[in-house]
């Protein structure tokens, strides 16, 4: 006899923390035996093997690689051998040697996390007088990313904020970086690269063992910085790919006088020639996509691949109100309103983060305004990268979100026939966040 149920995330050490799914060792249709590793989850301390609590078969994955999962979140639909349990395992049965098996053998109806973790769920972050109910892992991620949870829309039961709801540090949300060295499979280093018009801030993620010769160069969009790519870059480095990311002029930590499209292209090209040896596979988002396309035809760079994500420069119109709203926002409320346009979920960070971003934009406003006026004028894009895409000699991929309200997704149809199109449903202007695993796989394939 057997029964179908959900396989949920057990405790991974002390407390009710969660982690990021690194790899599924079992695929739908695969059988497993008790204590056999089904998947691997990365916590803040280590990569943990999650064993099967009983003999059975995996029916379907509920969570995907790189998904953030909390304690007792459903991971997969499985079929276990034996009789189904008569009732949900009580909280006190989740400790001791049989904890993993006891937690996973739940009835198929998911349990309310607020009931499972009364002490943890009752904790709240108070910002502007609002009480925020969030999982412990979501709170940990928010703290690491410098994001307040007030204003973050929870998708868990009862509006509870779970890990997947916490915005990444990137695009409009990113304000700073720090020098770090990552343990495990890759090392992170940061430096300023001196060029003729100033200096460009760069972050490098070097895997311990390179799988390919090319280095991926990631270029963020308007109002972003290197942190836009944090999640994608980490996954790419795990696959043995070296990754470099720039803060474009007028963004992040870069101190560069470039305030036109051609000036930004020249600055990035000079920095890349100086800092990156060997072939480069370019990846650009939005404004960075246009820069990447132009770079693909720039002499002196050995370009091996090109991936554009929601790029500007292949159509006429753009959401000018978003650009004006970001530059001219004088209050946190005005800036947060614009940030919500970036994703389908309309995520936004906490008030402290919004204020830090507002101050940074205000500081760079004159240079940003000159740059924006050169590239966008009264809602009309002034840059055309279609000729670049026709003439570039490298394999090119273009990714667009079907719900993008900044750059219309139909612009992707203007790309030359040689460009491979990937249209992502239910994604906005940031498909590299909202369809992270798929987009990261496409980027990795550009280095193959």
pLDDT of residue 320: 96
Using 50, 70 and 90 to split pLDDT, how confident is the model at 347? low
Confidence of residue 355 (pLDDT cuts 50, 70, 90): confident
**Which region among 27-41, 116-130, 412-426 has the lowest average model confidence (pLDDT)?**
116-130
The first and second tokens of residue 34, run together, are 């008790």
Integer Cα distance of 138 and 117 in angstroms: 14
Which pLDDT band, with edges at 50, 70 and 90, does 231 fall under?
A: confident
How far apart CA 19 and CA 31 sit, in angstroms, is: 24
Sign of CA dihedral 197, 203, 209, 211: negative
CB contact at 8 A, 73 and 8: yes
Mean pLDDT value across residues 403-432: 96
What's the pLDDT at 235?
86
Q: How confident is the model at residue 155 (pLDDT cuts 50, 70, 90)?
A: low
Residue 349 is predicted with a pLDDT of 59
- Sorted by where each starts, the structural domains of the chain and their CATH numbers stand as 2-84 (2.40.50.100), 116-166 (4.10.320.10), 172-445 (3.40.50.1820)
Q: Which residue has the higher pLDDT, 318 or 356?
A: 318
| pLDDT for residue 278 | 92
Q: Does 125 score more than 80 pLDDT? A: no
Mean pLDDT of the chain: 81
Give pLDDT, residue 151. Answer: 60
How far apart (Å, rounded) are the C-alpha atoms in residues 33 and 53? 8
pLDDT, position 144 = 57
Looking at the chain, the whole-number percentage of residues with pLDDT higher than 70 is 75
150: Cβ contacts below 8 Å, ≥ 6 apart: 125, 127, 128, 130, 132, 350, 351
Please compute the mean of the pLDDT values over residues 264-270 and round it to a whole number: 97
pTM over 0.85: no
Q: How far is CA 398 from CA 234, 270, 358, 385, 432, in A?
A: 21, 25, 31, 12, 12
Residue 406 pLDDT > 60, yes or no?
A: yes
Does residue 111 carry a pLDDT above 80? no
Average pLDDT over residues 85-92: 50
Q: Is the pLDDT of residue 279 over 80?
A: yes
pLDDT band at 292 (very low <50, low <70, confident <90, very high): very high
Share of the chain above pLDDT 90, in %: 48
| Distances in whole angstroms, Cα of residue 87 to Cα of each of 81, 116, 383 | 17, 14, 63
Mean pLDDT confidence for 102-116: 33
Residue 17 pLDDT: 64
């Amino acid at each position: 006899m057997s029964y179908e149920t959900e396989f949920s995330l057990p405790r991974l050490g002390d407390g009710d923390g969660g982690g990021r799914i690194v790899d599924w060792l079992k695929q739908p249709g695969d059988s497993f035996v008790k204590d056999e590793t089904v998947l691997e989850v990365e916590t803040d301390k280590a990569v943990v093997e999650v064993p099967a609590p009983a003999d059975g078969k995996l029916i379907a994955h509920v969570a995907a690689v790189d998904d953030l999962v909390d304690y007792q979140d459903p991971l997969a639909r499985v079929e276990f051998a034996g009789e189904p349990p008569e009732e949900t395992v009580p909280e006190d049965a989740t400790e001791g040697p049989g904890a993993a098996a006891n937690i996973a053998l739940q009835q198929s109806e998911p349990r309310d996390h607020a009931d499972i973790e009364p002490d943890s769920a009752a904790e709240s972050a108070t910002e502007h007088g609002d009480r925020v109910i969030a999982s412990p892992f979501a709170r940990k991620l928010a703290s690491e990313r410098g994001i307040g949870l007030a204003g973050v829309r929870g998708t868990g039961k009862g509006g509870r904020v779970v890990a997947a709801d916490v915005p990444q540090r990137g695009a409009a949300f990113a304000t700073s970086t720090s020098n770090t060295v990552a343990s495990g499979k890759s090392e992170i280093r940061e430096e300023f690269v001196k060029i003729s018009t100033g200096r460009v801030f760069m972050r490098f993620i070097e895997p311990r063992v390179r799988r390919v010769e090319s280095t991926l160069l990631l270029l963020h969009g308007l109002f972003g910085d290197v942190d836009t790519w944090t999640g994608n870059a980490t996954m790419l480095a795990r696959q043995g790919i070296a990754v470099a990311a720039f803060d474009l002029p007028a963004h992040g930590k870069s101190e560069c006088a470039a305030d036109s499209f051609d000036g930004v292209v020249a600055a990035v090209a000079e920095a890349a020639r100086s800092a990156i040896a060997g072939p480069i596979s370019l990846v650009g988002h939005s404004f960075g996509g246009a820069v990447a396309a132009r770079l693909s035809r720039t002499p002196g760079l050995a370009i091996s691949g090109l991936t554009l994500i929601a790029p500007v420069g292949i159509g006429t119109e753009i959401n000018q109100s978003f650009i004006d709203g970001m530059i001219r926002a004088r209050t946190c409320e005005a800036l947060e309103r614009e940030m919500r346009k970036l994703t389908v979920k309309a995520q936004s960070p906490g008030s402290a983060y919004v204020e830090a971003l507002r101050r940074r934009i205000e500081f760079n406003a004159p240079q940003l305004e000159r740059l924006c006026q050169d590239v966008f004028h009264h809602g009309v894009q002034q840059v055309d990268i279609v000729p670049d895409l026709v003439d570039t000699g490298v394999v090119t991929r273009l990714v667009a979100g079907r719900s993008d309200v900044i750059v219309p997704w139909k612009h992707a149809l203007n790309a030359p026939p040689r460009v491979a199109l990937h249209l992502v449903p239910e994604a906005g202007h940031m498909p590299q966040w909202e369809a992270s695993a798929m987009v990261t796989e496409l980027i990795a394939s550009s280095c193959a």
